[in-house]
Amino acid sequence: MNASLDSSWAGFGLNIDEPGSRANTLLGFGYQPPPANGTGNATSDLLDGTNGSDIGLVHGIPRDLFDPRMLAFRRVIHTFDMYCLPTVIAVGILGNIVCFFVFMATYLRRMSSCIYLAALSVTDALFLVTTLCAWLDNINVDVYHRPGWCQLLTYVSFVTSFLDVWYVVGFTVERYLAICFPFKRQQLCSARRAKIVVISLAVSGAVLFNFALWSSEVGFLYQRKYCAPMPKYYDLVSGLSNIDTLITLIIPTVIIITSNIRITYAVAKFYRSRVRLEGRRQMTSTSASRNESCDLRQQRRVDG
């Protein structure tokens, strides 16, 4: 059993007996295994539970974590985290940069909808950069858990998450206005108005989430640095997180769903009207053809 566990962690490139190793981190936020009590092997002590007092726990860690299936699952997650995630981030950053230049360096910049898409590509790229900085911890490049970087990256992550959602809302609402109020499209859906909305949302996000700059700090847990809210601001951050859920999830979801329902209804109504109009035209054409045929027959009778 011990050999099986060691080989399973070896699949991660980890050593469970090494204090402060990534294996210990996976076991629970930098958990440090206690000294071996007679066996000479901390792994063995973890498995036999000689220092554990609770049923189902080994030194406070659920026994399920040592299940072979759980270890295999963790190996898959680790592989994805190490190789797939940075690939997705790199492709995403490159793709968003290309999209920005396509939308802003061509005639598309005159279209209001492309203003929203260009702004969205910028915020997406910035969010991916913050994700990359956090991922670097996997290869022992400490960026996120450093004073200054901790506050900045947390702040940028909050702001870009907010803007990602609300730029989509702005794009959706603009489509709704263009489809449901076509005669006011030139007035309501101009590129200038879109730029004003984009800048206003950016300023709102920058002000709204400024708490991340002064409520976060780099602390220590089990001899490992980590970026987290200051203890004295736990209640404040918890309340602001609830507000964040409201303004970045609930309200945008309601607006997007409502706008799309109205757009779908307007498009369906337009096609129904078009079908009726085509039907009337066809009936009128058929009636005119019949009248013309009758007139021709009557004319032939008169001539005959």
Instruction: Identify whether residues 197 and 223 lie together within a single domain.
Output: yes
Instruction: Identify whether residues 54 and 148 lie together within a single domain.
Output: no
Question: How far is it, in rounded angstroms, from Cα 19 to Cα 223?
Answer: 10
**Tens-of-pLDDT digits for all 304 residues of the chain?**
444 433 333 333 334 344 334 333 333 333 344 444 444 444 444 444 444 444 455 445 555 656 677 777 778 888 888 888 899 999 999 999 999 999 998 888 889 999 999 999 999 999 999 999 989 988 888 888 888 899 999 999 999 999 999 999 999 999 999 888 888 888 888 899 999 999 999 999 999 999 999 988 888 877 788 888 888 988 888 888 889 899 999 999 999 999 999 999 988 888 887 777 776 666 666 665 665 666 566 666 666 5
* Residues 167 and 119 sit within 8 Å (Cβ to Cβ): yes
* Residues 43 and 17 sit within 8 Å (Cβ to Cβ): yes
* Residues 112 and 185 sit within 8 Å (Cβ to Cβ): no
Question: How far is it, in rounded angstroms, from Cα 252 to Cα 239?
Answer: 19
Query: Under 8 Å CB-to-CB from 134, ≥6 apart: which residues?
Result: 143, 144, 153
In terms of residue numbers, what domain contains 62?
Answer: 2-66
User: Has residue 289 been placed in a domain?
Assistant: no
User: Has residue 175 been placed in a domain?
Assistant: yes
DSSP conformational letter for 180 = H
Helix, strand or coil, per DSSP, at residue 19: coil
User: Has residue 297 been placed in a domain?
Assistant: no
Instruction: Identify whether residues 193 and 153 lie together within a single domain.
Output: yes
Instruction: Identify whether residues 55 and 142 lie together within a single domain.
Output: no
Instruction: Identify whether residues 84 and 228 lie together within a single domain.
Output: yes
User: Has residue 294 been placed in a domain?
Assistant: no
Instruction: Identify whether residues 244 and 122 lie together within a single domain.
Output: yes
H or E segment and range at residue 224: strand 224-229
Instruction: Identify whether residues 171 and 100 lie together within a single domain.
Output: yes
Q: What pLDDT does 103 receive? A: 92
Query: Under 8 Å CB-to-CB from 221, ≥6 apart: which residues?
Result: 29, 30
Domain count for the chain: 2
Global pTM value? 0.69
Q: What is the CATH number of the domain that holds 109?
A: 1.20.1070.10
Instruction: Identify whether residues 40 and 114 lie together within a single domain.
Output: no
Instruction: Identify whether residues 174 and 28 lie together within a single domain.
Output: no
* Residues 182 and 116 sit within 8 Å (Cβ to Cβ): no
* Residues 34 and 24 sit within 8 Å (Cβ to Cβ): no
Instruction: Identify whether residues 91 and 143 lie together within a single domain.
Output: yes
